[in-house]
Structure 1
Amino acid sequence: MSGPETPHDGAPRTLAWLCHPTTLLALVGLVVNDHVLKPALPGLVTGKLSDVAGLVLAPPLVAVLLTLVVPRMSARSAALVGLVSVGAGFAVVKSSGYAAELASSAWTVLAGASLVRADPTDLLAVPALGLAWWSWTRSRRRPVRQRTARLVRLLVVLPPAVLAVAATSAVHYPYAISTAFVDGHPAVSVGSGTDLTPWPTSATDGRWSVSDDLGATWREVDLDEQRRLSSQSAGQRQACVPADPRRCYRAVAGHLRVEQSDDGGTTWHVAWEVSDAQREDLARRSWSPGDVDRHFASRDLIVYPAGSGGHEVLVANGRDGFVHRWSDGGWRRVGFLGDAYLGARGAPPELGSGGPARRQLDLLLAVALALTLGSMVTVLAGHLAILRGRGPGWWGFTGGLSVLLSGTLLAVVWGRDDDTDTFMALLFIIVPMGFLAATALLVRPRYQGATPRWTRRTLSTFLLTVLLAGLPLIGWLYGTPARTRSAVTLALLAAIPGLWLAVRNARLVDAPRAYERRHPVRPPTVPDPSYPAGLPPR
């Protein structure tokens, strides 16, 4: 069935533009290039290919969004706005460092950690807008008029197009991998991990830098030093002071902690550490932190004589950079050393300096958990109501399975190996799945005799559960409790009153009323006295 279409209804034509074979080819090319070719073959060709594909895909996407927001906007106007805005924005960002910095900040808010670079050579891709215009002239002659076809194309093509344009190239996060000696000088290996590639595991996954002045300055190693560092076994969990073998240090696996022994390793005590609670707070303020016990942990260390006497210690701590013990006995986190990743140099983030505004996904995670627990209580209430009304039990089974899958997926993504994937899973899978299950189990019991009072009580129970479960999670956002597992445990315990109320609410189901609705009694037929007897009924 064709929907009504006015002369100012631009959606059928802009949607045809978005689904044109040229646009779809650009969509596939952008996704494959950003997520497969760039990590495997970084370089000029893959970099420019993303720009070309993006310039072909972005104008029709902008035009479709405009005609959806402003339904009476003509397709031609939306196409012109899409082409001009995309072309002008691309030219400004690629030719101005200040504009690129603003674009990076805006994109980080919208799509996670992002980096947009000003590169005038990228302007060579601007002629791709001509290809976008050509696909518009072809597609506007075949508008998508059927409502069903429009809905299907919106659901199938629009979300991947938005994600493909919003997703940026892999963002590299610096990683302190290892420490070693070369010709008696301290050396460090600094690598990086991305949201698309594996994190580094060995010193050879990074780039070596060496210090000729005992850690004051650093330079990149030459080829001979690189060869020798690659051939030796870098990375020691435990090392002793050369001039005093009884003084030893060791990096503790799974923690940001260094222990010290003054009796040759017989007994140990903590020399420096970031507590597990502080470490979790530090990870929560980092993009895509992944496995905290693995990536925010002390990996290895070296001990070497200090120039002014005494000794110094240098420890590689993964995502947190390096920690340095000076000759006076003081420890200081020094971030990332060497010339391998200049953008990562500088002081590391201060401990305990986080707050709700700086914890990127925690608010959304807290909301998702509270809503999932509220959905769980609602599904239980609906299931019991349906059973009391002699209804089919598969409704409750299906709803419970949906909530279980939603909660399982929430537990999986809570580790946030990739913040962008976590955000998408929360927004498009976890929350909608629980919401749909709760809605279905709130409506279906009305056909089994659930009274309006039951509906009001169940809605109140849902809101109460969300509120009670949200209280410890709100405290967690502000640092009390500091540990995630404590906040989640308290939230689960806070759902118990909701479960108890869900069981009690089942008494508000009127089973006889449900039976009458399923088997209505028809009144007996009364013969019409004015109709002659013996004739067949009319």
Structure 2
Amino acid sequence: MSRASWLGHPLTVLALVVLVVNDHLLKYTWPGLVTGKLSDVAGLILLPAVLDLALRRPAVSIAVTGAGFALVKATATGAWLASEAWTLVWGPSVVLADPTDLLTLPALYVAWWASRHPVPTGRTVVVLLTPAAVLAITATSPAQPYVPPMAFATEVRDGAIIVELKSDERFVSRAYLTRDGVTWEEWTSAVRSSPTPSSCAGDRCLRVVPGRLKVEESTGGGAWTTAWELSPEVQDRLVRAYPPDEPEDLQPVESLSVSAIPGLVVVANGADGVAVRDASGTWRRIGIKDYQLDPAATVPTDAPGRYDTALPQNALFIGVVVGLFALATGIRTLGFIVGVAVGWVAAWFWLAPRAEFHDIVSGGYAPPLYPDVKVLALALILPVAAFALMMFFAVLARPPLWILPVGLATAGLTWLVIMAPFAAWSVGWVPAYAQATVLAVVLSTVVGASAAWVTGRYSTPRPHSLGQRPGP
């Protein structure tokens, strides 16, 4: 029985699954003590089996794992070394020393037991499990993603107005005080930390309109009228002017809080900063930069809308998938369809959003002169294999010659009809980002379905040459 069968032990495979699910789902859904320690337990079970592929000594593999884990978790030097190693491979990463993590060391007994009770495992299973296990172990402990700061709350204090800035619970908020809306002093005392949806100065009262960049005003108890607002179309573009690292961390861009004193009104507008009305009645917006209110950071209302920087790459990925699908509907052989499937995997490998493998190969995270050889080889093998499979079975199927240019045209047209609505939204021709998304989905679906219908309906195989017997 091969020593590599330790990697295929059910307990080792379970640890791999737990590590992936916990690090990439549970930690974000239920952050806390349990999910934090669960990764350590799973890693202590999985890592020795991976190390043993090279060391070939289970006891040594377990000892190295335990010693390394203790060094990283119990000493600042070990944590620093781990952080530098992870940063070299995956980009900015932080590994924190936490002596309480040493309580998970008994998980090494599970690894030892699995090594003593290996199960029969084929070479193919080991080949498939090894890269998955390595990636699961090395892809943990990422740096905290960037969350844009926002103007969250306002309050009146001692004849002045205080604005509180924050991003999320991982960062300490900052507060600034102003008496004229021009000069801002950092406020280090306690703040209310809750939005004020309405405020009055004398007989004038103001209130924010939920969900909008808008403030209404009432004088002497009269009707509410609009004091300041930005149109929904401008607001829709400003929402995406402050992109976080993770989509779920997108900060609101809307009027959250308002405070007023005689001659001054300040509105907290989320990630867009604040809106200020001075004694002359003039409104102006002030943006946020480096946790400070900075007029130079204000995004102009006529600036083009900013869509996701990954959109062109994602659109190309979808275009390749749709183009290959159109070819598959015309060349309906099992071998060609397998080639198309491999082509889809290759496209995902290079073009899918946040493709860590592609980042390593292209030098996005790792030094460009030292790419991972296995990753580079796989990155090259996938498209070559897809091309070879599709060409071989296409020659056997003998489809009409116009099939290939139709597939290429379908991929390019799909990319174009996805990008066009977002470009139109960016310059204001399409009112809302959601409408651009709907247009992109509808148009790309029409292009893909039409191309698949044409290739499926009219792709009659070409006749064989004279004197050549037709296939069965």
Question: Normalising by the residue count of structure 2, what TM-score does the alignment of the two structures yield?
Answer: 0.57
Unaligned ranges ≥5, structure 2? 301-305, 359-382
Give secondary structure in 1 for the equivalent of 2:118. Answer: coil
How many equivalent pairs are there? 414
Of residues 358, 362, 376, the one that matches 2:309 is 362
**Shift of the alpha carbon at 1:298?**
1.7
1:180-195 to 2 correspondence within 5 Å?
none
2:11 paired with 1:21? yes
The 3 A distance-change label for structure 1 pair 83 and 40 is closer
**Shift of the alpha carbon at 1:297?**
1.8
Distance 1:103 1:480 in 2: 45
Unaligned ranges ≥5, structure 1? 3-11, 68-72, 196-205, 337-343, 354-358, 404-409, 411-420, 428-434, 521-538
| Contact 1:55–1:86 under 8 Å retained in 2 | no
Give secondary structure in 1 for the equivalent of 2:241. Answer: helix
2:329 paired with 1:383? yes
Larger Rg: 1
Aligned match of 2:297 = 350
Give secondary structure in 1 for the equivalent of 2:254. Answer: coil
Distance 2:19 2:355 in 1: 21
1:295-444 to 2 correspondence within 5 Å?
295-305=252-262, 310-313=263-266, 315-320=267-272, 322-325=274-277, 329=282, 331-333=284-286, 335=288, 345-347=291-293, 350-351=297-298, 362-363=309-310, 365-380=311-326, 382-383=328-329, 423=354
| Contact 2:162–2:177 under 8 Å retained in 1 | no
Deviation digits for residues 442-464 of structure 1 (CA, Å, limit 9, x no counterpart): 78995995526255334433453
| Contact 2:287–2:298 under 8 Å retained in 1 | no
Q: CA RMSD in A?
A: 6.5
One-letter amino acid matched to 2:309: D
**Shift of the alpha carbon at 1:116?**
2.8
2:234 paired with 1:275? yes
The 3 A distance-change label for structure 1 pair 265 and 445 is farther
Of residues 140, 152, 158, the one that matches 1:165 is 140
| Contact 1:37–1:46 under 8 Å retained in 2 | no
One-letter amino acid matched to 2:254: A
One-letter amino acid matched to 1:370: L
Of residues 86, 90, 98, the one that matches 2:72 is 90
Of residues 238, 250, 254, the one that matches 2:211 is 254
Deviation digits for residues 52-93 of structure 1 (CA, Å, limit 9, x no counterpart): 4366157348638xx6xxxxx554599499749954983699
The 3 A distance-change label for structure 1 pair 362 and 159 is farther
Deviation digits for residues 284-339 of structure 1 (CA, Å, limit 9, x no counterpart): x22334496x822222322123xxxx2232x2333455555555756453659xxx
2:24 paired with 1:63? no
Distance 1:425 1:31 in 2: 17
Deviation digits for residues 445-498 of structure 1 (CA, Å, limit 9, x no counterpart): 959955262553344334533664576599799999997554884797588777
**Shift of the alpha carbon at 1:138?**
5.5
Give secondary structure in 1 for the equivalent of 2:297. Answer: coil
Distance 2:424 2:134 in 1: 32
2:115 paired with 1:139? yes
**Shift of the alpha carbon at 1:191?**
7.0
| Contact 1:174–1:191 under 8 Å retained in 2 | yes
Q: Percent identity?
A: 17
| Contact 1:385–1:448 under 8 Å retained in 2 | no
The 3 A distance-change label for structure 1 pair 129 and 375 is same
Deviation digits for residues 102-141 of structure 1 (CA, Å, limit 9, x no counterpart): 679668x65xxx873654xx14645866854983585177
| Contact 1:17–1:23 under 8 Å retained in 2 | yes
Distance 2:23 2:401 in 1: 56
Distance 1:169 1:251 in 2: 32
One-letter amino acid matched to 1:135: A
The 3 A distance-change label for structure 1 pair 461 and 152 is same
Aligned match of 1:286 = 244
One-letter amino acid matched to 2:460: V
Distance 1:90 1:476 in 2: 51
One-letter amino acid matched to 2:72: F
